[in-house]
Amino acid sequence: MLEQAPIRSEASETARHAHWLFFRKWVQSPLSVASIAPSSPDLSKAMAASLPDRDGIVVELGGGTGAVTQALLAQGLPLERIVIIERDAHFCAFLERRFPGIRVLQGDAGSLKFLLRGANVALPVSAVISGLPFVSMPNRLQVRLLHQAFAVTGGKGPFIQFSYSPLSPLKRCVRDRMGVIEQCTQQVWRNLPPAKVWCFYGAGIKASPGPRPRLLLEGQSQTG
Ligand SMILES: C[S@@+](CC[C@H](N)C(=O)[O-])C[C@H]1O[C@@H](n2cnc3c(N)ncnc32)[C@H](O)[C@@H]1O
C-alpha cells in the first residue's frame, strides 16, 4: 500500500515561507528588520484591536510578510481599506502575492505623506499602524514620522506601534516636545520576545482608543 504524503495546508505553507523570508532578511539587515520572526498571531491581533472604530483607510508601515495585515483582515477590515508601506522589495512582492489586490507602496515610511499623495490615497486616513523598529530610531526620525502620521490622520492619530521594550518606544524628549499623548493598550506575552502595544495621539487630542483595547494601568499586566 502506498504511503500517503502529508498534506500541507496553504496557510502553513505561507507561514513557512514567511518565516524563512523574514529570517533571511533579518540576516541581511538586522537593524531594519529588527526581529528574527514575524509578529505572533497574538501580537498582530492586539495591534489590530487597538484601531479606532472609524471609517477610512488604515496605513500599515513596515508590513514585512503580512502578520499584522492578516490580523487586520481577520478583524473584518476590507482589503480596500488597507495601504501598506514597506521599504524592502522582496517583502513587497511577498505581500502582493499573499494578499492579491492589496495596495502596497514600496518606499520609506519617512516619506509617508508623499507616498500616500502619490498613490492618491484619500486623506485623512483613520489610523497609522506601525511595525517599524521605532525604538531604535534617532529622535529626528521619530519626530518626522509622528508629524506625518498626525498630518495624514487629520491631527487625530492614533499612531499604533508595538515594542519589545518595557518602556514606551517614544523618546521622552520627543513626546514632551511634540506634546504627544501615549497609552499602552496591550501587553502581549505570547510573542518572542513579549511585546507591548502603544497608541500615540497628537497634541490636544483626547486619547480615546474606543471600547476594544484594554488599557493597562501602571504595574498591571495581561496575558496575551
Ligand atoms: C519588525 S519588522 C515588522 C514586520 C511585520 N509588520 C510584523 O509585525 O511581522 C519591520 C519591518 O519594517 C520594514 N522597515 C524598516 N524600516 C522601514 C522604513 N523606513 N520604511 C518602510 N519600511 C521599513 C522592514 O523591512 C520590515 O519589514
The alpha carbon of 5 and the centre of ligand 1 are apart by a number of angstroms equal to 36
> pLDDT band at residue 217, thresholds of 50, 70 and 90?
very low
Distance CA 132, CA 144 (A): 14
Q: How many CB atoms lie within 10 A of CB 201?
A: 23
The alpha carbon of 62 and the centre of ligand 1 are apart by a number of angstroms equal to 3
Residue 193: is the preceding peptide bond cis (ω within 30°)?
Answer: yes
Closest CA to 129 of 90, 71, 207: 71
> pLDDT band at residue 7, thresholds of 50, 70 and 90?
low
Q: Is residue 32 within 8 Å of residue 98, measured between CB atoms?
A: no
Q: What is the per-residue pLDDT across 24-48, written as a single tens digit (0 to 9) for each?
A: 999 999 999 999 999 999 999 999 9
Which residue's alpha carbon is at the smallest distance from atom 3 of ligand 1?
Answer: 131
Q: Is residue 148 within 8 Å of residue 185, measured between CB atoms?
A: no
Say if residue 194's pLDDT is above 70. yes
Residue 211: is the preceding peptide bond cis (ω within 30°)?
Answer: no
Q: What is the per-residue pLDDT across 66-113, written as a single tens digit (0 to 9) for each?
A: 999 999 999 999 999 999 999 999 999 999 999 999 999 999 999 999
Say if residue 214's pLDDT is above 50. no
3-state secondary structure of 166: coil
Average pLDDT of the chain to the nearest whole number: 89
Per-residue pLDDT at 205: 58
Rounded to two decimals, the pTM is 0.89
For the chain, the structural domain boundaries read 34-201
> pLDDT band at residue 177, thresholds of 50, 70 and 90?
very high
3-state secondary structure of 214: coil
Class of 34-201 per CATH? alpha beta
What is the average per-residue pLDDT within 193-217? 67
Per-residue pLDDT at 162: 97
Per-residue pLDDT at 94: 98
Residues 6+ apart with CB under 8 A from 196: 162, 163, 165, 166, 184, 186, 187, 188
As for ligand 1, residues whose beta carbon falls within 6 Å of it are: 32-35, 38-39, 61-64, 67-68, 85-88, 91, 108-110, 131-133
132 secondary structure, DSSP code: S
List the alpha helices (DSSP H) in 29-178.
30-33, 41-49, 67-74, 89-98, 112-118, 139-152, 172-178
Using most ligand atoms within 8 A of CB, pick from 20, 83, 86 the residue to mutate for ligand 1.
86
> pLDDT band at residue 199, thresholds of 50, 70 and 90?
very high
Per-residue pLDDT at 99: 97
Per-residue pLDDT at 12: 87
The alpha carbon of 171 and the centre of ligand 1 are apart by a number of angstroms equal to 19
Residues 6+ apart with CB under 8 A from 121: 57, 59, 83, 103
Distance CA 206, CA 150 (A): 13
Which residue's alpha carbon is at the smallest distance from atom 23 of ligand 1?
Answer: 62
What is the average per-residue pLDDT within 206-222? 42
Per-residue pLDDT at 85: 98
Per-residue pLDDT at 216: 42
The helix or strand, by DSSP H or E, that contains position 61, with its residue range, turns out to be: strand 58-61
Say if residue 9's pLDDT is above 50. yes
Beta strands at 159-163 and 195-201: parallel, antiparallel or unpaired: antiparallel
